[in-house]
A and B are shown apart, each in its own frame.
Chain A
């Protein structure tokens, strides 16, 4: 994804070293990272930029600073909402939720019938017995994150 990032991983690392929050959180670069781990696999000094970018995203969310691209944020939030509700991903629900959040209502609508025909769109959501457990874990982590405000591991 480096080609599409205004700040590719090495520039993000440089901005972090120089403590340039304005640069790091100034555009969507950190949100375009797919965690493909290629940067970390190749770095001769073992710097692990993939982990650094993960941490920057966490920081961005907890401090409310970075504008993640609407679609990307919408997807992640829809995902987490789904699993909070049912413990597993119910793909129809996920896509609907995503469309509503992102405003991208027509996305893949044309493909839906094809998916259904191939049996790939279960229409019934499956809620696991431990869905409460999952909700609890998600909320506990959120509390730890906002309360702690300390070191990001």
Chain B
């Protein structure tokens, strides 16, 4: 799979780890990303707040560049960029007169032929591949004991006509990716409530109020971490978390979905930028690794015990050793003997 890549301004700055982890998992999933040459800022919230046309024209410039560079799909990991680019595509296609106005301002050809994809949509489509690769790994999956809340925020799911790929009130695409990674998505209430977005700098008190409610709800539903797909949400929940945590509360690590996938695929933490967070991820990962190792040891011990028992029975009754698989236990008909002995 080959896509155009629109990083957006935060990928080289405050959300560097999102970019790093995305680039780390792409080859494993068979995705080739080609960065759009000479891309410019999409305008985020500031452009459309000032001027509707500017809010369409800036992202449209990037779509026009993508078109000229031969792409029919562009991946935009930042939720705001995704929403702006997809919004521009929608506006040019549907608002009367917009196509002409944008064309006039852009002064470059633009056929509005490029589709815009978010990282979540991409990973949802790749979930079977992720699941396969997770199952094929030899080390025990450290995410097996992880309860994690999927936080979508606003711009990945609204307005529904522009974002399109999931339900805007009770989305489930990230949960599917989490499950494919072998972790446990929790059912919680704040998945699509706003974190305070662009007020991070100019009105931090609002961000603290809104984001604190999100973290509190995730915690009360048993989440050990929150997974996001938006740099601004990450910043509000991670960078600003110190202002929200009350005394005695466990900090809540905030992971990018791409980092979660990277961990599931067994990539080392440094390649995923996990050291760049303000809320440390190390303690949680260490704990999970330990739990996974303990479970693997317990499973191995059980399998060894079961194999011993089966061997003893076989010795007593002279029957061939039957594979100690779960299927053998529930099926009334005897399972065929498998070559190679007990495989738990």
Binding site for B on A (CB under 8 A): 1, 4, 32, 34-38, 40-41, 50, 54-55, 57-58, 61, 69, 71-72, 74-76, 79-80, 82-83, 87-89, 91, 95, 98, 102, 107-108, 111, 114-115, 118-122, 126, 128-131, 133-134, 136-138, 140-142, 144-145, 152-153
- In the complex, the answer to whether B201 meets A95 with C-beta atoms within 8 Å is yes
With a cutoff of 8 Å between Cβ atoms, the chain B residues found around residue A107 in the complex are 201, 204
Q: How far is the CA of A1 from the CA of B105 in the complex (A)?
A: 34
Question: With A and B bound together, what is the CA distance between A7 and B3 in angstroms?
Answer: 44
Is B46 within 8 A of A79, CB to CB? yes
What are the 8 tightest A-B residue pairs by CB atom distance, in nearest-first order? A89-B9, A37-B158, A36-B194, A79-B46, A71-B202, A141-B54, A36-B154, A75-B202
Answer whether residue B13 sits at the interface, using C-beta atoms and an 8 A cutoff: yes
Q: Per a CB cutoff under 8 Å, which of A76, A114, A120, A128 touches B46?
A: A76
Interchain CB contact under 8 A, B196 and A34: yes
Of A36, A87, A126, the residue contacting B197 (CB under 8 A) is A36
Partner of A134, one of B40, B45, B160: B40
Q: Contact check, A120 vs B202: say whether CB atoms are below 8 A apart.
A: no
Report how far A129 CA is from B98 CA in the complex, Å.
Answer: 27
> Within 8 Å of chain A (Cβ to Cβ): is B318?
no
Question: CB-nearest residue of chain A relative to B95?
Answer: A153
Provide the residues of chain B in CB contact with A54, threshold 8 Å.
48-49, 52, 55
- Known A-B contacts A57-B50, A137-B54; A34 and B199 likewise in contact (beta carbons under 8 Å): yes
CB distance A75 to B201 under 8 Å?
yes
Interface 1/0 per residue, B80-115 and A, CB below 8 Å: 000000000000000111100100111100000000
Residue of A nearest to B154 (CB): A36
B196 near A140 (CB under 8 angstroms)?
Answer: no
Interface size class of B (residues with CB under 8 A): 35 or more
A79→B13 contact, CB < 8 A: no
Q: Counting CB contacts under 8 A, is B126 at the interface? A: no
Query: Which secondary structure dominates chain B's binding surface?
Result: helix
Contact B10 A89 (CB under 8 A): yes
Flag if B49 contacts A40 (CB, 8 Å). Answer: no
Interface string of B166-182 (1 = CB under 8 A from A): 00110000000000000
Chain A to chain B contacts (Cβ below 8 Å), 22 pairs: A1-B206, A34-B154, A35-B154, A41-B159, A58-B50, A83-B41, A87-B41, A88-B9, A88-B39, A88-B40, A91-B10, A98-B202, A111-B239, A119-B16, A120-B15, A120-B16, A137-B54, A140-B57, A140-B104, A141-B51, A141-B54, A153-B97
Q: For the complex, give the distance between the alpha carbons of A152 and B154 in Å.
A: 25
Q: In this assembly, does B58 line the interface, its C-beta being within 8 Å of a C-beta of chain A?
A: yes
Give the residue name and chain of the B residue nearest to A144 (CB).
B53
CB contacts (< 8 Å) of B41 on chain A: these are 82-83, 87-89, 134
Asked whether B33 is an interface residue with its Cβ less than 8 Å from the other chain, the reply is: no
Which of these, B48, B54, B160, B276, contacts A41 with CB under 8 Å?
Answer: B160
A-side contacts of B51, CB under 8 Å: 58, 61, 141-142, 145
Residues of B contacting A137 in the complex (Cβ-Cβ under 8 angstroms)? 54, 57-58, 61, 105-106
A58 CB contacts on chain B under 8 angstroms: 50-52
Most chain B C-beta atoms within 10 Å of own C-beta, residue among A89, A91, A122, A138: A89
A41: chain B residues within 8 A (beta carbon): 158-160, 168-169
Q: Which residue of B lies closest to A130 (CB)?
A: B38
Q: Does B188 contact A (CB under 8 A)?
A: no
Name the contact of A34 in the complex, choosing from B47, B197, B275 (C-beta under 8 A). Answer: B197
A65 CB to nearest B CB, Å: 14
> CB of B44 within 8 A of chain A?
yes
Judged by a CB distance under 8 angstroms, whether B302 is at the interface is no
Closest A residue to B205 using CB positions: A4
Cβ–Cβ contact B58 & A134, under 8 A: yes
Most chain B Cβ neighbours within 10 Å, of A58, A120, A128, A145 = A120
* B221 proximity list for chain A (CB < 8 A): none
Report the separation of the CA atoms of residues A153 and B57 in the bound assembly, to the nearest whole angstrom: 14
CB distance from A12 to the nearest CB of B (A): 15
A74 to B199, CA, bound (A): 12
**Which of B14, B169, B193 meets A91, CB within 8 Å?**
B14
| A71-B202, A79-B46, A130-B40 as given contacts; A37 in contact with B159, CB under 8 Å | yes
Task: Compute how far the CA of A131 lies from the CA of B196 in the bound complex, rounded to whole angstroms.
Answer: 30
What B residues does A74 contact at CB under 8 A? Answer: 202
